[in-house]
Structure 1
Amino acid sequence: MKRLIQTVCLCSCFLICLPVQAEEKKDTRPNIIFILLDNVGKDWFRCYGSEENQTPNIDHLAYTGLRFRNCYVTPVCSTTRHMLLTGRYPFRSGWHTHHDPAIYGGGYFDWNREICFARILRDAGYSTCISGKWQINDLFDPAQKDAIQEHGFEEYCLFPEGMKGHPAHKQRYWDPYVIQNGKQLETKGKFGPDIFTDYLIDYMKTHRDKPFCAYYSAILTHIPVVHTPHNIGKELTPREQFAGMLNYSDFLIGRLVKAMDELGIRENTILFIVPDNGTDNGTDQNSEQSLGGRINGRISAEGIYSLKEQGINMPLIINCPRLVGTERISDDLIDIADVLPTLADLANAPLPEGVTIDGKSFAPQILNQPRTEPWRSWCLTQYYKQRVIRDQRFKLYSTGEFFDLSEDPLEQHDLSRTERLKTENTSLKSYAQLKSVLDSLPENAKLPWEFRSISARRIKAQEELMKKSEASEKGQ
């Protein structure tokens, strides 16, 4: 009997200790929500000096979190997305020109060539999902039908895009074409952005007990301009419609933050917000009908496809009350390749072996921790063969143009052929340092396929014309 009592007591102690042990082993790594907005630049964000007033929720996140003054993306969507997902510069990966395989066919984001940040976090024990837009694989191609999972996203709710003539082609807003975990949804009468936001909120509800990484690849504010549920039925100009689309995107981000609060995960969820490139000005370029936002009394005329600052220098806002803290503004130079190593760092996940990652982790800046080494003095991007690099003040193009951004943010005065570059030590020193970095970079890597976008065809046509012109001049 005595031995039986001892056995019962030992078992009871063991059972009592179990919850304590489980609590000790709870994974406390932060959740990550990464929001990539579509085709909208600093000219529309009040927290970055815009005179528009369409982003109250985003502005509040900026004023109560961390925002970077300089974050370089590429000037168009697919190149930015590839750089973001892989942590590699376009010249390294070879994806340096716009290409949308879902529309044009041909090559695609190949999981056998590149490693996506979702795969890194998934393998480190995170739950992973994507909601919104996916354009760098053709999910209707049998060879790519499992691309989302191959890239590391365990769950998804997507507008997949499709080739011309396919029901999914450009059908992203009202009555959108949406697939969720392999099944097409019934969406008649629904607004696409609502579907993707609802999905994320449901995802957070079912995954809040384990660290998760949710990539919200938003479809707003990509053209065509449309009415949203908040202004449907009103007569609006294209610019007013675009403003409404951004305002609705801001409203949805507010919904996500509110859901995080209600679920009790806000204090341990790091929220990122960044656009993929500058504002798409549409087809009407006159100052009053341009889709550009007003900043410093001027409606921006530069944006998508431009390597000027308005096309590539985007907002980067990071918010988490407990981990990021209150308002901070950073002058550190970030480029979008830095995201992959940063997410891996936050998730305590190892980087892949045998792969050159160009980005650097800015997790210490996010967490307000001291760095063990100085941050780099430049950031970089490119489109096709043209590359641009900048330091805190100056910007150099691989084609030779050189600008003082502190005095000339619109890049109207090229200093490369002026006396100032020869006589002013500050300008000359920056020029030499930036040129040295550009000169050290390798040629563009080659992909086993050709870019097929309209942009790529235009570049090829221009090069053919230049070759003919040069041949003609030699002949004379």
Structure 2
Amino acid sequence: MLTRKMRLLFVSFFLTISVFVNAQTKNRPNVILIIADDQGYGDLGVTGNPHIKTPVLDKLAAESIRFNNFNVSPVCAPTRSSLMTGRYSLRTGMRDTYNGGATMAGSEATIAEVLKQADYTTGIFGKWHLGDNYPSRPQDQGFDESVIHLSGGMGQVGDFTTYFKGDRSYFDPVLWHNGQQEAYTGYCSDIFTDEAIDFISSHSEKPFFCYLSFNAPHTPLQVPEKYYEMYKGIDPTSGFDDGRPFPEMSEKDKEDARKVYAMVTNIDDNLKRLFRKLKDLKIEKNTIIIFMTDNGPQQARYVAGMRGKKGSVYRGGTRVPFYFKYPERYKKDMDIETMAAHIDVLPTLAEICKVQVPHDRKIDGKSLVPLLNGSAVDWAERPFFSYWTRRYPEKYNNMSLQKGDYKLVGHTDYDASFEDFELFDLKYDPFEQHNIVSKQGEIAKSLKVELDEQYNELIQSENLVNPQHILIGTPHENPIFLNRNDADGERGIWAQEEIFGKWAVNITKGRYNIKFKFVKPLKEVGQMVLETGPVINQFKNEETGIDVLQMNDVYLPSIKGDLIPIYNTKSKKILPFWVELEKF
């Protein structure tokens, strides 16, 4: 038996360890990562837009470390996978925003999973767009709390709980709370901010990671009337007389800009509420705040003179604002001109929060801590690869490599030589107006060699060659909904009736009830056919005017392959809008 003295020594020892651990935990900062969807570099007052009202974000920029050469992917889902993992999107299995290519491999490690090594509580509120089924959902990838919409955007076909609301899809939506449908009241950006504030308030006593991922100002451009009223009379082309290039804007572009500015001002007001809560909780000093956007603007409008927009590898598509604020550690605001990118966020947070990055895979990003500390010494120039085409990269088409001040851009054929590319010196030509490939051939040739090496490596990535299959019949997600965003098959699957589609699945053997929902009520009798590898189940439907068909008590063996549903009539072959499978 322990003596009293020994017991006291043990108690003292464990109290000391407990105090040390608690001190270590408290020393770790909270992290709030804020990202807006399709908000371009020019959609802020601080970046020279005289029309938009963003006082909160402008103030944040003034108090932050500003990365003025920060780059992302040209479109949203690839940006988000790189942001979450520190890896180029192709390594994670992400190759598109839909077409069955917007599912990140479940084996990837996200910021949330990395921070949970230090017992962070994690939450996401808004847009995920990295997979809507197990094992790729937020709750499968390290998030304790999630309130999200599905697919790439509310009102899109993949987000079937809001799609049928049409021009009211951003209001009073049905969202997914920890994997379950739940009805909410209000405007989407307000709801996501409310949920983030509640999460922060509930977990402010220990380190937390809050990923506030607005779906605004992505289309459809819906906004509360009071915000639209602020902009309905403006001319978005006026007030720019500084000589920088400015895109041509149609009347539709101008109206779209008014709505976008209104949506961004709403975000600005919501961030005012969020930042006020940090002060009320007295945690603002020990909280990292990052604000960024995921790509350039979808529509033509002011983009600070840069060339291109969303989808383009020119700077208008890939350069975004990036503000980093951490008052406890960095007391002053500062401008950083060194090239940085979305792949750098995970290693940066890992170093500051004192956690390990995964060592069993290649992390393409680099910690920005040396730059945050004011030193670019030993910061070697490194290449940044960018591309965008549907489905898979098309060699040398809309593809670029930036290294230091030079950027090589390809809009050419697969067998093109370096002379067929564009080369820009961003130091003297930040708007990418002057192709100097004929004058700097050796630089272009060298950059093309590096581009080829990077492309050839990425295109052979394991998660791209062997993509993640949706797991059906597991206790993690039952029932399971297969939506149009994740359907592969013909290019451009959206809301069409007559189109071939399929889902890549891994089915657990068992008995299932299966529902097929259609975009429109069926007008003809026909045959519902479900192909799952060599197993085909079918039945004749004699009823018209209905939009849901059901197969009950269907036995499916273990299958890894394609799930293909087709409704055959005399005149059509119809793809269901979504498929629900419930194992019993």
TM-score range for the pair, normalised by the shorter chain length: 0.7 to 0.9
CA contact (8 A) 1:95 1:447 kept: no
Tell me the CA shift for residue 448 of structure 1. 3.2
Tell me, in whole angstroms, the C-alpha distance in 2 between the residues paired with 1:241 and 1:330.
32
Q: Which of 143, 147, 153 is matched with 1:153 structurally? A: 143
CA positional deviation for 1:156: 0.9
> Are the equivalent residues in 2 in contact too, given 1:378–1:390 (CA < 8 A)?
yes
Distance in 2 (alpha carbons) for counterparts of 1:235 and 1:209: 41
Distance (Å, rounded) in 1 between the aligned partners of 2:123 and 2:58: 26
Pick closer, same or farther for the CA change 1:321–1:106 going to 2, 3 Å. closer
Shift of 1:233: 7.1
Equivalences for 1:74-473 in 2 at 5 Å? 74-96=73-95, 98-100=96-98, 104-105=99-100, 108-112=103-107, 114-139=108-133, 143-144=134-135, 147-161=137-151, 163=157, 166-169=160-163, 173-188=170-185, 190-228=186-224, 230-231=226-227, 236=232, 237-281=255-299, 290=300, 292-293=301-302, 295=304, 302-366=308-372, 368=373, 370=375, 373-383=378-388, 384-385=393-394, 386=397, 387-398=399-410, 399=412, 400-416=421-437, 418=438, 420-421=439-440, 428=442, 430-431=443-444, 433-443=446-456, 444-445=459-460, 446-448=464-466, 457=491
C-alpha deviations, 1:221-248, integer Å up to 9, x for none? 1012122263367893332111111111
Query: In structure 2, the residue corresponding to 1:302 is in which secondary structure?
Result: coil
Counterparts in 2 of 1:363 and 1:402: CA distance versus 1, 3 Å: same
Distance 2:101 2:304 in 1: 40
- Deviation, 1:94, is 4.4
8 Å CA contact 1:130, 1:214 repeated in 2:
yes
Write the distance in 2 (CA, Å) between the matches of 1:106 and 1:65: 35
Change in CA separation of 1:179 and 1:452 when aligned onto 2, cut-off 3 Å: closer
Please state whether the residue corresponding to 1:43 is helix, strand or coil.
Answer: coil
Q: Structure 1 residues 311 and 62, CA, compared in 2 at 3 Å: closer, same or farther?
A: same
Q: How far apart are residue 148 of structure 1 and its match?
A: 1.8
- Supply the RMSD in Å over aligned alpha carbons: 3.4
Name the one with the larger strand percent.
Answer: 2
Deviates more, 1:162-171 or 1:435-444: 162-171
Q: Classify 1:432/1:73 alpha carbon distance in 2 versus 1 (closer, same or farther; 3 Å).
A: same
State the identity as a percent. 28
Instruction: Please list every run of 5 or more consecutive structure 1 residues that lacks an aligned counterpart in the other structure.
Output: 1-6, 282-289, 423-427, 459-476
Q: Is the 8 A contact 2:385 2:400 kept in 1?
A: yes
Helix, strand or coil: the match of 1:396? strand
Quote the Cα distance in structure 2 between the aligned partners of 1:448 and 1:308.
30
1:118-154 deviation per Cα after TM superposition (whole angstroms, max 9, x unaligned): 1111133211111101222124xxx45x722221111
Change (3 A) 1:301 1:334: closer
Change (3 A) 1:343 1:257: same
Give the unaligned 5+ runs of structure 2: 233-254, 413-420, 469-484, 493-584
Change (3 A) 1:185 1:447: same
Contact 1:167–1:177 (Cα < 8 Å) also in 2: yes
TM-score where L is the length of structure 1: 0.79
Deviates more, 1:431-440 or 1:380-389: 431-440
**CA deviation digits over 1:58-94, x for unaligned, max 9?**
1111111101111111111111111111211134344
CA distance in 1, matches of 2:375, 2:336: 14
d(CA) in 2 for partners of 1:413 and 1:301? 11
Instruction: Give the Å deviation of 1:327.
Output: 1.6
| Partner secondary structure for residue 332 of structure 1 | coil
Once the 2 structures are TM-superposed, how far is the Cα of residue 107 of structure 1 from its aligned partner? Answer: 6.5
CA distance, structure 2, for counterparts of residue 174 and residue 380 of structure 1: 38
User: TM-score, structure 2 length as denominator?
Assistant: 0.65
- Contact map agreement 2:86 2:343 (CA 8 A) in 1: yes
Please list, as runs of the form range in 1=range in 2, the aligned pairs for 1:46-65 lying within 5 A after superposition. 46-65=45-64
- 2:302 and 2:212 map into 1 onto residues whose CA distance is 23
One-letter identity of the residue aligned with 2:435? D
Give the length in aligned residue pairs.
421
